[in-house]
């Protein structure tokens, strides 16, 4: 598989006319977007597939097609082996990636079309037959990319001369158009010869295919075949594949980084050996069981198919560690298969309880049987750190029974305050403890047909009425307006206790880069909820930040009586570094709840209102619908509640979590075993909706007494382990300028700004400042805050100045942020590298610098590049460019513009200065890891100049750095 972006389509009037004429000539009906179609049903019923990258360059690499085929056969290759291994994984399909640019463009079938390696033995036909015999479908991988035709020095894997003779015209297979013609013929050959194939898995598009109506022809000739595309949501495709997502917390929760919402048919394709190539590179690489099993389950919890890549050797066998994993899955999956097969992800368009982050570090997903969410499966993939219960949002489902899927053992449970708590869990599976939860359906929610929705802004084709129309895929789009509000009309004054919000799952949950493009979460961050009886007088009942998480999110508002409920969205999580998501908001539906399901026969441990506790002074038990157990203790400003017999396994410091209610900010005092009071910070909020705070407390082994008083009501407490020293709350830190900063000789100053956003948890005693090296000076004081809560930010600006004699070598200036979490100190930082430019350069700038504009292009790591990064995805559209608006020179005249780049093949830049006519810079290279330089003469004015580097019509080389000499 290639680590490169989907190609942008170029749309011209002439091309549109040509397509229309061609379609008329061929009597082809233009393909329409078919998000759901009967031909997809077999894959919708699937849980997983097996992705096989195997070809002529599988280690040990062959450079001759005949010798590769001979060694494959001599090694005992057998199609049935692959089918059997797929079934161990409960995979219902195989994608064979042999015609792959990095594997020699090998075709494992006899072909009448010359141009690349083709075998005499029909490996593809044997695999299709073996799969059909056992109910495993086969899809064939096809690439659009000829750029790796000379990857092996001295070896040309594409034979233009032979194909030209076959076509009777000169065709260069190393060009994208020539390769498009060649592969177009191969599509048709495969369609003609392998009717039992199930479709094509296509690694991005080729303009030749599109001009010549290839996809429409596939639809007409093989209407039951699937089409899948890699990393691009192409309307005609049945399946969108999301490739190799990493950098996620927890690491197995792959769906956090996907970009295609339900009901689109979606794959997650990822490597089982977590290191090495997609194909066998000669190593028996390890399989991370925790990661791989976790991905398998997490994907099922989002209706995503797990396309697992294993690395077959030349003889077709898998290396021992992959075979061992397959054998493990063959025994591990059957006991819980009912919770994974033909299920849908819970918490999204199919209903179900809330997936994701639960109590005390627990994390997991929900899967649903096809019975209107009456049967739900709770998959606990990460168990809670120190409790024998799992507590998750019930999303209005009244639970009637809970049992362990593996053993059938029934479990006690508590349901209150909008949460289901499964109690008394002592036996946890290493990878996934699965509970079957039987429900009586949802209750306490108004029917969508009762509600009317209006908004202060919307796109014309995505109005606010979509929020309550009963069709989940119809979404409201805020049209980039903030703040923006949605008002829900209940028809008359009615009780309202919470909102259930499903946002469109089209963005990742956190800031990241994917294939060189910056991404961020287009989900609600800061919000305000107000209610009104008459639509004129409004009362604010909740102000908070919503976590950036997948699945349904809930906003508790206490017991309100209102006709109108207004949700005002102040901003979203996305930052300006990710333009496609910045200031964008899409919501699929909003539901209004008026009550919570209740089952109180089994009380939760450590409830404040428990009869095991003692109370003094004015402390009393109060009703609280949103609290666990539907009650709390209030009056603690002049009273106390004391827990007796709080157990600790060993003496030490523990994390004490307090769920409280408070109308205004304050604190509570916690005394353990008669010791000195420890203060816990309390934030203002809705006095009927619990918040949470945590402190570190010393406990003795065995029984402990905990006394609590202060300016808040108390819902419950929980005692847990302190976070490990390695734990640092997730933050997003932006420092400008980013990348290497190049300065001239003599004393220089650099203006620095930084912002830190807290993405989870809460922190105290925050301090942010640059740390300058000896001999440098810092202008500007540190920025501090008593604390940050979810979504809050801290920002500052400073000037750093070098020595009077000038900088003599590279300098690293970190911007550091220190803070405490439950009393534990932590630090995060980002470094600004500052270097002196060469004497023959009057200006130098990294392409990836935040001082530039890169539009829809992206940034990716590049070890041989200056600063370790470069801009990729340049070209193919007007805004995929690099624009330097302040290229400053001392005097007007002609200069040399030096472009440091990497490229594989032949590409061109176009350079425009101060809006002038563009000049082409054609370049050629043999690898994306080799930095080269091209010089372009430019005429500049004295002072700042604007330089634009682009290619509107085609892909441009990756850009490392620009300089002027």
HSE-up of residue 892 (Cα within 13 Å, Cβ side): 2
Instruction: Quick: pLDDT tens for 197-214.
Output: 999 999 988 989 999 999
Q: Residue written as tokens 């329409």? A: 32
Q: Left, alpha or beta for 352 (phi > 0: left; psi -120 to 50: alpha)? A: left
Do residues 28 and 73 touch, judged by C-beta distance below 8 A?
A: no
Q: Residue written as tokens 């909820």? A: 529
Q: Which residues does the chain have with pLDDT short of 50? A: 2-32
Helix (H) or strand (E) holding 166: helix 160-167
Helix (H) or strand (E) holding 921: strand 919-940
CA dist list (Å): 449 to 99, 452, 488, 523, 928? 52, 8, 12, 25, 56
Distance CA 156, CA 132 (A): 36
Q: Left, alpha or beta for 693 (phi > 0: left; psi -120 to 50: alpha)? A: beta
Distance CA 333, CA 90 (A): 8
CB neighbours of residue 392 within 10 Å:
24
Main-chain dihedrals φ then ψ at residue 138, nearest 5 degrees = -120, 130
CA dist list (Å): 865 to 499, 736, 862? 49, 20, 5
CB neighbours of residue 31 within 10 Å:
18
**237-239-240-245 Cα dihedral, nearest 10 degrees:** -160
Domains of the chain: 47-332 (3.20.20.80), 344-442 (2.60.40.1180), 448-593 (2.60.120.260), 619-655+662-684+693-718 (2.60.120.260), 725-835 (2.60.40.10), 837-965 (2.60.120.260)
Cβ contacts of 190 within 8 Å, gap of 6 or more: 109, 124, 140, 197, 200
CB neighbours of residue 635 within 10 Å:
18
DSSP-derived letter for residue 591 is E
DSSP-derived letter for residue 7 is P
CA dist list (Å): 289 to 448, 828, 885? 43, 30, 49
* Cβ burial 875-889 (10 Å sphere, 16+ → b, else e): bbbeebbbbbeebeb
Distance CA 404, CA 225 (A): 39
Q: Residue 3's pLDDT is what?
A: 38
Distance CA 554, CA 537 (A): 25
* Cβ burial 37-61 (10 Å sphere, 16+ → b, else e): eebbeebbebbbbbbbbbbbbbeeb
Distance CA 680, CA 820 (A): 13
Q: Residue 27's pLDDT is what?
A: 35
CB neighbours of residue 17 within 10 Å:
10
Taking CA 457 as the corner, what is the angle to CA 453 and CA 463, rounded to the nearest 5 degrees?
A: 50
**Closest listed residue to residue 907, CA positions, set 883, 886, 880:** 880
Q: Residue 457's pLDDT is what?
A: 98
Distance CA 269, CA 260 (A): 14
């Amino acid at each position: 598989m290639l680590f490169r972006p989907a190609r942008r389509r170029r749309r011209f009037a002439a091309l549109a006319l040509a397509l229309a004429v061609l379609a008329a000539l061929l009597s082809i009906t233009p393909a329409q977007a078919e998000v759901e179609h009967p031909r997809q049903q077999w894959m919708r019923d699937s849980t997983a597939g097996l992705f096989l990258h195997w070809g002529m360059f599988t280690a040990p690499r062959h450079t001759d097609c005949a010798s590769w085929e001979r060694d494959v056969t001599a090694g005992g290759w057998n199609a049935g082996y692959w089918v059997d291994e797929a079934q161990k994984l409960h995979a219902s399909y195989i994608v064979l990636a042999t015609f792959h640019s990095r594997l020699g463009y090998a075709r494992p079938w006899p072909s009448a079309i010359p141009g690349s390696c083709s075998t005499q033995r029909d490996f593809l036909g044997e695999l299709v037959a073996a799969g059909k015999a056992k109910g495993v479908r086969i899809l064939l991988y096809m690439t659009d990319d000829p750029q790796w035709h000379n990857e092996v020095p001295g070896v040309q894997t594409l034979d233009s001369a032979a194909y030209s003779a076959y076509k009777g015209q000169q065709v260069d297979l190393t060009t994208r158009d020539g390769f498009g013609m060649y592969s177009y013929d191969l599509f048709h050959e495969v369609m003609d010869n392998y009717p039992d194939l199930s479709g094509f898995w296509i690694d991005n598009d080729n303009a030749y295919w599109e001009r010549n109506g290839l996809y429409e022809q596939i639809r007409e000739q093989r209407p039951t075949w699937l089409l899948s595309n890699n990393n691009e949501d192409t309307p005609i495709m049945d399946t969108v594949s999301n490739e190799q997502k990493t950098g996620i917390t927890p690491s197995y929760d792959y769906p956090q980084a996907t970009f295609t919402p339900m009901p689109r048919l979606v794959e997650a394709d990822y490597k089982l050996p977590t290191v090495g190539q997609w194909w066998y590179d000669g190593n028996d690489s390890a399989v991370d069981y925790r990661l791989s099993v976790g991905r398998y389950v997490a994907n099922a919890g989002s209706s995503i198919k797990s396309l697992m890549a294993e690395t077959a050797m030349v003889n077709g066998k898998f290396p021992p560690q992959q075979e061992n994993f397959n054998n493990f899955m063959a025994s591990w999956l059957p006991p819980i298969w009912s919770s994974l097969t033909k299920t849908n992800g819970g918490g999204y368009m199919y209903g179900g309880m809330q997936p994701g982050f639960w109590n005390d570090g627990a994390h997991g997903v929900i899967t649903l049987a096809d019975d209107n969410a009456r049967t739900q499966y709770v998959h606990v993939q990460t168990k809670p750190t120190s409790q024998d219960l799992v507590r998750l949002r019930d999303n209005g489902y009244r639970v009637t029974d809970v049992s362990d899927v593996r053993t059938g053992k029934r479990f006690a449970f508590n349901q209150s305050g909008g949460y289901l708590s499964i109690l008394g869990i002592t036996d946890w599976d290493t990878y996934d403890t699965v509970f079957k939860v039987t429900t009586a359906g949802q209750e306490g929610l108004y029917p969508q047909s009762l509600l009317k929705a209006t908004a202060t802004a919307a796109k014309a084709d995505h109005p606010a009425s979509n929020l309550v129309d009963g069709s989940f895929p119809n979404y409201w789009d805020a049209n980039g307006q903030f703040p923006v509000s949605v008002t829900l009309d209940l028809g008359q004054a009615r009780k309202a206790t919470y909102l259930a919000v499903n946002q469109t799952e089209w963005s990742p949950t956190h800031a990241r880069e994917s294939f060189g493009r910056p991404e961020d979460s287009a989900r609600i961050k800061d919000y305000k909820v107000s209610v009104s009886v008459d639509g004129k007088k409004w009362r604010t009942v909740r102000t908070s930040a919503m976590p950036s998480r997948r699945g349904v999110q809930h906003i508790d508002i206490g017991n309100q009586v209102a006709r109108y409920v207004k949700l005002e969205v102040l901003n979203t999580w996305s930052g300006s570094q990710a333009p496609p998501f910045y200031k964008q908001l899409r919501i699929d539906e909003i539901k209004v709840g008026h009550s919570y399901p209740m089952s109180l026969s089994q009380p939760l441990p450590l409830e404040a209102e428990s009869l095991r506790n003692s109370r003094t002074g004015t402390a009393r038990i109060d009703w609280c619908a949103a609290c666990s157990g539907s009650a709390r203790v209030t009056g603690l400003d002049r009273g106390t509640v004391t827990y007796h017999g709080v157990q600790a396994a060993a003496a030490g410091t523990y994390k004490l979590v307090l769920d409280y209610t408070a109308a205004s900010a304050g604190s509570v005092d916690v005394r353990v075993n008669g010791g000195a009071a420890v203060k816990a910070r309390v934030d203002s909020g809705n006095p009927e909706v619990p918040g949470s705070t945590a402190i570190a407390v010393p406990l003795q082994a065995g029984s402990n007494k905990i006394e609590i008083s202060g300016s808040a009501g108390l819902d419950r407490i929980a005692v847990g382990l302190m976070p490990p020293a390695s734990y640092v709350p997730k933050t997003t830190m932006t420092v400008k300028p980013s990348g290497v900063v190049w300065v001239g000789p003599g004393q220089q100053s650099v203006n620095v700004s930084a912002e830190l956003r807290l993405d989870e948890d809460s922190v105290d005693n925050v301090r942010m400042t640059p740390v300058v090296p000896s001999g440098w000076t810092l202008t500007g004081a540190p920025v501090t805050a008593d604390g940050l809560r979810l979504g809050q930010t801290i920002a500052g600006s400073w000037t750093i100045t070098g020595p009077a004699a000038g900088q003599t070598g590279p300098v690293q200036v970190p911007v550091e942020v220190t803070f405490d979490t439950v009393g534990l100190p932590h630090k995060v930082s980002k470094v600004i590298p500052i270097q002196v430019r060469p004497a023959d350069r009057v200006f130098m700038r990294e392409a990836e610098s935040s001082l530039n504009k890169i539009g829809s292009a992206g940034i990716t790591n590049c070890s041989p590049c200056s600063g370790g990064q470069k801009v990729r995805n340049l070209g193919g559209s007007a805004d995929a460019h690099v624009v330097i608006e302040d290229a400053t020179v001392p005097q007007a005249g002609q200069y040399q513009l030096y472009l440091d780049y990497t490229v594989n093949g032949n590409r061109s830049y176009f350079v425009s200065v101060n809006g002038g006519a563009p000049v082409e810079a054609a370049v050629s290279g043999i690898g994306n890891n080799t930095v080269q330089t091209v010089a372009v003469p430019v005429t500049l004015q004295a002072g700042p100049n604007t330089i634009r580097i682009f290619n509107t019509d085609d892909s441009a080389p990756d850009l490392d750095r620009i300089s002027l000499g």
